Amino acid sequence: MAVSEQMTAPFVLPALSEDLLLAKFFRALGDPTRLRILEAVMDSEKNVTALVELTGAPQGRVSSHLACLRWCGYVTTRQEGRQVFYRVGDRRVGKLVAIAKDLVADNCERIRSCTIIDRGRLAQRPLRRRRRS
């Protein structure tokens, strides 16, 4: 992967097997907001303000997702004055997203009906209490 910025962890990283690293790679793409951000910066770089407008997510959430995407090498940055602009760090990311979209189109109903994938996500959500009228 051609990443122009070298980032190293300020802590000791656990040794992960290749399959765990690959699963972690895909988990980084497993958030709808992160995918919207990636698609937004595929063709042209954008700053946080533009990404907040495009995604409809709060600024803090967009910044957190950008930190994840930047740390994992999906996006790189360019600073101009006080503004930071984000762009895709490797053109293969765009190809990967395009391939994934094709696979989803071909398997849409099967993916939509899969309940196994959603189990972990639904289990992590806190229960909401209903308001009494």
User: Looking at residue 66, which CATH number applies to its domain?
Assistant: 1.10.10.10
Question: Is 49 within the bounds of a domain?
Answer: yes
Residue 9 included in any domain: no
Predicted TM-score (pTM) of this structure: 0.76
Contact present, 26 and 99 (Cβ < 8 Å): no
In a domain, 131, yes or no: no
51, with CB counted inside 10 A (0-12, 13-18, 19+), is: buried
Q: What letter would DSSP give residue 43? A: S
Look up residue 30 and give its DSSP letter.
-
Residue ranges in 56-90 assigned as alpha helix (H) = 59-71
Look at the chain and report how many structural domains it folds into: 1
Q: What is the pLDDT of residues 34-75, one digit of tens each?
A: 999 999 999 899 999 999 999 999 999 999 999 999 999 999
Q: Is residue 79 part of a domain?
A: yes
What is the arithmetic mean of pLDDT over 100-108?
Answer: 96
Contact 79, 70 (CB under 8 A): no
Mean pLDDT of 112-133: 66
Per-residue confidence (pLDDT) for residue 118, from 0 to 100: 79
